[in-house]
Structure 1
């Protein structure tokens, strides 16, 4: 939180840091400790310069002990010559007698009522056991008079640590001195550089708020030399940190530098040191961070990048040994993807192929940015002995399917099956179980034709009486997509047949997977009903889905049902129900316990869809506004849906040319899986983008294409969601009589939908501007529609007396006297 301004040579200090520093008056001793580059000295010089009510003395201990002591005596002499003379006679304390003599003098000094502040910079240069003993005997935090501030790079003395932990001394460390995300934005502004939030977040994530490195980034942005930040940072680290470390510390960092994060136990196994030795190292190196929640250690990202550079300079054999040892410790700790990366780097594959792991721990990493790791390991299937272990082989095969590497999957399926059948270590029962798992993957090669998939699934019971579990329990049935209909509606005019296929398949699928995706057929039908404008029937099915999914902890399906209910609430303008369903989505995502992270992504996507529907696109999560991040982090099967969301974001922001530029890519991906719903949305956005850029003929053509895809199944909602963007275009577009009824339904639903959206927005404004609770806002909205208290109570499922009391509060807060006046707030 300390902002070092290069131009003024002063530190900008945030309010929270000012507050922390100001607490020094409550303590005898204050310790400002942080590694190089955190601006400790500059912050203190800025904050304590001419500090009101104190005589401030500054001593730099960056010298010999004798010189330091002489400077200390000279400083004290300004306040009290007799004390200074006494200190000078004793000299720097080297014996117990010296320590006792100084303690006696300090006790007299500390009772002196003159307010003085002694700041000692680089204090760790002269800190030893004798100095620590002196502090431990004279720390009274309530005493007036002399106060001391010590600036140092790190604290290793247990005596001082105890003083701080017991709140008998003030401690301000790197957490307080680091830049927060907001500090980074402020600091760049002070240096005449305006950052967007995404760039600020990236800088924060890559620096962990290390002030000097943030300063380098600001200078680089200001001068247009961003590409040199890493080089300058590496030079700074080498000269000011790396060269200050001893040989053992460097070797320790080299051993641990291959880890993204690690536990103490992993550290012990990786370095072959004893527990105390590891703790001493971890506590002594200031750029190692400890997360109390996960109980894991990690490095500052820029510092880790430097260590990785240092690792490259090691002999190849030594580097391979370090990497391989780290791979094994990660494998043993259950960090399977970290182990995969390191085994891949060390070109050693046999151990990972012989491990038994759960796909739930692998699935979150099956994303584009990790494809090279998976592909490398998959390509080495044929080079290792399995010794009767095929769990990981099956996982890697399904992972390649998720990357859409169909040829690789076909080859692996065939060869893994042959190897299982020919493996003499396996008994017949084990072979059957493995072959059933392979058949499960074969079924998914028919995605998203559920008739073909069903035929393949039905082979599994003929192979094994036991449910498949290696893959089925490791990923959400709907991946990171809120809409099952998006995943399985593949042919215009065939939606009802597709729903029937899922309904017929569901019982068999649940039987062979022990309930995986429970409720998917119901949510698919609810999705279709919603898109057809049958909101009441959709709501009933969603409630059924929630019961089915919740009973089997199928949170992905549960979220999909809540997502539809939230959309229905938007249509009806029921803010309370809308908020409730969005809260349920967030709560379900948290139940994931960080096993996959896919539910968090799903919740982000649901929230972003809602925000785009009410045109609050600025509040969408940053990663969903970045096409590259979307491609790198979203499941390949769900990418089309998320691309639709990104397209809406571009359209709402008026970035029509940007959308037109990527539209070919979006259409191609939609065609790859014959996704009808994303194709409809994409054509609608193409119509809007062309209309807004003057290509009216093309706009009409694309809108007609969207209508042709949607009309056979009466899919209205893609048009309704975007009616405010296409209303003029629909009125202009010449359509055949066959489509006239379809258009009328769109217009009819859209009018009610826009009223609902307006009510939701208004409720939000009323909440913000007048302090109404969510419940009060919903009551007020219904009352404004002239509903009676009894009718409001029935619609919101609350007591009529509750409505009556809410109405009194609403009238009071809005300072009105009648329901007629209330109507003005929602128009």
Structure 2
């Protein structure tokens, strides 16, 4: 009789044939319940295929966790692409989705590259599913994708299959019949009689995991024995057979979904982890070693069983294991998982230490509820022992727009400091940090914020320890004046107060927001029609912001420069500035600034009446899917409202006006209120509602005239000219209206030429080679495929694309594809 070998692999022939078709489709979905051998089947299929296999096992439902793993995996192909994707983050909106797909489309995948996503059912993210579907539809010639899952993949698998994008391998392909059960057991050194195979088939229904466990039992006892449950089978056939030290080891490492040798050694430092793992791999088919990732992974069935056993251990035993896991994660820089492990262990000291160490850099909106729960459950005495982590948490409450919780935590921290037994220097430092934190509670009130900053300066010794100077200073708004103009008739004083306060803020934060005071001054000059001084200060602001690494302030300076170039009639300068800014964002991997840039672009094209060139997310009003925070929402509404106006959606504009004004009234943001009232006036005018139009325009002028802000009216002169003229007959408004009309007369002369130039820069203005490349891009081909098809260098394709983008005033392959489609179908 052959030697008993329970780890021998058996893959039925119909399954091999089904898996062999992976090369015929961009996507293969392997769907079957737990324990059917999906992972083994995929590995066996790829083992001798000479393919470059990149394998990612999904470990939880976190989209951000998946994305981090995905980026780590792609580093093996293109480190630059992986770094840019990591900086971009989960592509949770159309802008980021386009950017991610473009990056991957240009990655140099070797011939026959396979991306495998195992245990995909653990992930709960429509965004990731959509991303993979779009990636599949790109049909990159050298790339194949395999998704192994217990549940149905996505909502469009059937459609993908019908269109030839997808091949599905399902449960029926895995189930062994009686003859195959006999063959499988024989391969492992066990001979079955036909009636025993029939009994096993009736018992297991061809499920290979149950067959494997039954075989272990059959080899020892010589008969088919039905167990009450799969857990009982594992207990009897596997766990009970392990030596005591192996059982202890398994209960320590089962808290990981996969682990390295170093992790195992960290969990059991007093044991020979390498020897124990060698024993397990050779004696147990439920644990495998992946030589590519150098990690060990236990089968989900075995992991579930071990975790049930772990849950029955004593409390202190469980806490010790979870603490060790938390320590490992914290030491490796995975602070999110470290906090999760410490939380499961009930170790809030470790949890807060991990948060303090990370300073929240790994946190985003996805983690908001979890972070709030941690602090609600944390005992007060422990929270007080980690005041720096407490400050980091409170900062994130402001970022997450949890105003009530933010105020509550600020009050608690203040109370703690007053009662703290710490030394005087520590109390002063904490009090100073708190004052800096509380300045955000007075956001938009320059005087109120300055009071807190002055108190902070008297207490702090050096820059803040917890504030991230790389954070978005403007919350995503492309205008400083928009942020801080809150009281009609006091703009000039507000600019002066802000200029006096900013050096103090920059000192306390290590340069955060440097140049914002110059942008504020420059914007005021622009809005009162003083373009020369505005441009001088805008250039100064750009230099200061860039010197201090303050990219969002530089973006505000860019936004102002674009407005100035439009006022001068220089469309070429507008396009060059926007294109260079987009390239700089990509170069520095500052993808979270893309939405700021596209607000600039949207504003420019709205002013030119080019609605089809306004980014789609703005035209749809999708602000909540952007990287903008709530304080920037009214700035978004300025551009969105203008889009509704120039596309003739007057009723929708009027319907949303109350909401727009409500958002602009929160802090308040008077610039937002001025623009929205102008749009409302224009919409009423188009609908022949003269009284309502006049009333809305009067409201806008009443706010703006006290500070001489003529440019919102000039920018919209073609929409409000008639009602503005009527208002000018009123002596109260005559002087202000006259200034608007004079400036608009010069402004209006420039618009026709710019619009004509924009029309001329149609696809017809491209060279023959540029049109050819544009057509291939629209067909979904990546740069390297285009280069091969046209027998040119890939660098030439990239350079040509940049020329196309500049000529057309666009920034992405998606927009280019849309323009090509419009051209093909005769749309304008």
User: Into which bin does the TM-score normalised by the smaller protein fall?
Assistant: 0.5 to 0.7
Aligned counterpart, 2:410: 413
Query: Are 2:558 and 1:562 equivalent residues in the alignment?
Result: yes
Contact 1:542–1:564 (8 Å) recurs in 2: yes
1:444–1:204: structure 2 CA closer, same or farther, 3 Å change rule? closer
Matches of 1:240 and 1:662 in 2, distance apart?
57
Shift of 1:501: 0.6
Contact 1:388–1:423 (8 Å) recurs in 2: no
Q: Deviations over 1:554-595 (max 9, x none)?
A: 22212211221122112212234323432443355346555x
Shift of 1:628: 5.2
Alignment of 1:50-129 (within 5 A): none
Contact 1:518–1:549 (8 Å) recurs in 2: yes
1:218–1:124: structure 2 CA closer, same or farther, 3 Å change rule? closer
Alignment of 1:584-623 (within 5 A): 584-590=580-586, 593=589, 598-623=592-617
Aligned counterpart, 1:637: 631
1:450–1:685: structure 2 CA closer, same or farther, 3 Å change rule? same
Contact 2:513–2:553 (8 Å) recurs in 1: yes
Contact 1:704–1:735 (8 Å) recurs in 2: no
Matches of 2:609 and 2:262 in 1, distance apart?
50
Shift of 1:463: 1.4
Deviates more, 1:580-589 or 1:356-365: 356-365
1:723–1:420: structure 2 CA closer, same or farther, 3 Å change rule? same
Normalization by structure 2: what TM-score?
A: 0.57
Q: Work out which of the residue numbers 654, 657, 665 in structure 1 matches 2:659.
A: 665
Aligned counterpart, 1:538: 534
1:127–1:515: structure 2 CA closer, same or farther, 3 Å change rule? closer
Q: Deviations over 1:234-284 (max 9, x none)?
A: 987998999788999xx9999777x9xx99988998999979999x9xxx9
1:388–1:670: structure 2 CA closer, same or farther, 3 Å change rule? same
Contact 2:506–2:514 (8 Å) recurs in 1: yes
Normalization by structure 1: what TM-score?
A: 0.57
Contact 1:641–1:678 (8 Å) recurs in 2: yes
SS at match of 1:471: coil
1:712–1:371: structure 2 CA closer, same or farther, 3 Å change rule? farther
Contact 1:123–1:152 (8 Å) recurs in 2: no
1:125–1:576: structure 2 CA closer, same or farther, 3 Å change rule? closer
Alignment of 1:698-709 (within 5 A): 698-709=692-703
Contact 1:448–1:490 (8 Å) recurs in 2: yes
Query: Are 2:502 and 1:506 equivalent residues in the alignment?
Result: yes
Matches of 2:652 and 2:132 in 1, distance apart?
27
1:419–1:560: structure 2 CA closer, same or farther, 3 Å change rule? same
Shift of 1:486: 0.7
SS at match of 2:442: coil
Query: Are 2:717 and 1:723 equivalent residues in the alignment?
Result: yes
Contact 2:19–2:42 (8 Å) recurs in 1: no
Query: Are 2:492 and 1:493 equivalent residues in the alignment?
Result: no
Contact 1:589–1:603 (8 Å) recurs in 2: no
Matches of 1:326 and 1:643 in 2, distance apart?
46
Alignment of 1:264-343 (within 5 A): 331-336=330-335
Matches of 1:125 and 1:323 in 2, distance apart?
34
1:350–1:578: structure 2 CA closer, same or farther, 3 Å change rule? same
Contact 1:256–1:270 (8 Å) recurs in 2: no
Aligned counterpart, 1:204: 131
Query: Are 2:39 and 1:40 equivalent residues in the alignment?
Result: no
Query: Are 2:648 and 1:651 equivalent residues in the alignment?
Result: no
Shift of 1:406: 3.8
Matches of 1:551 and 1:124 in 2, distance apart?
52
Matches of 1:743 and 1:316 in 2, distance apart?
80
Matches of 1:462 and 1:766 in 2, distance apart?
60
Q: Deviations over 1:588-615 (max 9, x none)?
A: 5346555xx5433323332333333334
Contact 2:562–2:577 (8 Å) recurs in 1: yes
Shift of 1:525: 0.8
Q: Deviations over 1:788-825 (max 9, x none)?
A: xxxxxxxxxxxxxxxxxxxxxxxxxxxxxxxxxxxxxx
- Unpaired runs of at least 5, structure 1: 1-32, 45-121, 133-148, 157-164, 178-198, 224-231, 298-306, 773-827
Query: Are 2:353 and 1:354 equivalent residues in the alignment?
Result: yes
Alignment of 1:391-406 (within 5 A): 391-406=388-403
Matches of 2:682 and 2:754 in 1, distance apart?
25
Aligned counterpart, 1:229: none
Shift of 1:645: 2.4
Matches of 1:268 and 1:622 in 2, distance apart?
52
Shift of 1:499: 0.5
Query: Are 2:460 and 1:464 equivalent residues in the alignment?
Result: yes
1:771–1:41: structure 2 CA closer, same or farther, 3 Å change rule? closer
SS at match of 1:724: helix
Note the aligned Cα RMSD (angstroms).
5.6
Deviates more, 1:353-362 or 1:235-244: 235-244
Query: Are 2:312 and 1:372 equivalent residues in the alignment?
Result: no
SS at match of 1:454: helix
Aligned counterpart, 2:543: 547
Contact 2:526–2:534 (8 Å) recurs in 1: yes
SS at match of 2:593: helix
SS at match of 2:472: coil
Contact 1:353–1:390 (8 Å) recurs in 2: no
Matches of 2:263 and 2:727 in 1, distance apart?
66
SS at match of 2:665: helix
Shift of 1:384: 5.7
Shift of 1:436: 1.0
SS at match of 1:571: helix
1:731–1:476: structure 2 CA closer, same or farther, 3 Å change rule? same
1:420–1:667: structure 2 CA closer, same or farther, 3 Å change rule? same
Shift of 1:552: 1.6
Contact 2:53–2:113 (8 Å) recurs in 1: no
Aligned counterpart, 1:524: 520
1:664–1:124: structure 2 CA closer, same or farther, 3 Å change rule? closer
Aligned counterpart, 2:231: none
Aligned counterpart, 1:572: 568
Matches of 1:222 and 1:712 in 2, distance apart?
64
SS at match of 1:674: coil
SS at match of 1:355: helix
Matches of 1:316 and 1:398 in 2, distance apart?
40
Select the structure with the greater relative contact order (CA < 8 A; seq sep ≥ 6).
2
Shift of 1:395: 1.4
Shift of 1:215: 8.9
Q: Work out which of the residue numbers 742, 749, 755 in structure 2 matches 1:748.
A: 742
Q: Deviations over 1:657-687 (max 9, x none)?
A: 4434433332222111011011112222333
Shift of 1:509: 2.5
Matches of 2:25 and 2:171 in 1, distance apart?
20
Aligned counterpart, 2:59: none
SS at match of 1:672: coil
SS at match of 2:603: helix
Matches of 1:697 and 1:705 in 2, distance apart?
13
Matches of 1:252 and 1:522 in 2, distance apart?
58
Aligned counterpart, 1:437: 433
Contact 1:549–1:558 (8 Å) recurs in 2: yes
SS at match of 1:490: coil
Matches of 1:312 and 1:524 in 2, distance apart?
62
1:222–1:590: structure 2 CA closer, same or farther, 3 Å change rule? closer
Aligned counterpart, 1:675: 669
Matches of 1:623 and 1:36 in 2, distance apart?
41
Contact 1:359–1:470 (8 Å) recurs in 2: no
Aligned counterpart, 2:796: none
Q: Deviations over 1:613-657 (max 9, x none)?
A: 334444444444454552674212212212322333333343444
Aligned counterpart, 1:183: none
